[in-house]
Amino acid sequence: MQLNEYGDVLIPRGGSRLIQNVVKNATVPVIETGTGNCHIYVDESCNIEMAKSIINNAKTSRPSACNAVEKVLINKNIAEKFLPIISQALIEENVEIRGDKRVAEICPNIRLATEEDWKQEYLDYILAIKVVEGIDEAISHINNYSSSHSEPIITNDYNHAQHFLKFVNSSTVYVNAITP
């Protein structure tokens, strides 16, 4: 970090502690990368198997990557059907799930999430899940808690996809895609 004669620039990739350490201690110029409190919104019109596959991959393939999913927001109209499916798949991959009150009612083995969980970038096999009224609550939650990195929607509804793309304030917004 201080070998100026050998390096032109440092681009730290990792968690916020690593990034801040490099920014604080480097004498070589640094391009500061972002942290990733990334969300996936599961719309009521989604393909359940696609949603399961995307979430499982986005959390378990590289959980320490800055674009790994940290939060999942599920539309209330599919919560009772989808939560047992996704929680079972994630638990089989040793993912600790934390959820809001509604998630805990549907899946009683889930740890109750705190306010800090919604802000936290875990970079680990931990995922927080929240049941939302609909797309507008999901967008509001994302714009409030996200680090503005990567946010997908899983939907079969073209209008919902376009609404999500237009109003989520993040650098990368996806439709039916994996974050990492």
By the 8 A CB rule, do 132 and 138 touch?
yes
Cα separations in angstroms, 39 against 6, 9, 26, 79, 173: 38, 30, 31, 16, 10
| Burial (0-12, 13-18, 19+ Cβ within 10 Å), 151 | buried
Print pLDDT tens along the chain (180 aa): 788 888 888 877 666 677 778 888 888 887 766 678 999 999 999 999 999 999 999 999 999 888 899 999 999 999 999 999 999 999 999 999 999 999 999 999 899 999 999 999 998 999 999 999 999 999 999 999 998 888 999 999 999 999 999 999 988 899 999 876
CA 129/CA 42 separation, integer angstroms: 11
Residues with Cβ within 8 Å of 131's Cβ and at least 6 positions away in sequence, in order, are: 73, 74, 75, 76, 79, 83, 100, 102, 103, 106
CA 164/CA 157 separation, integer angstroms: 11
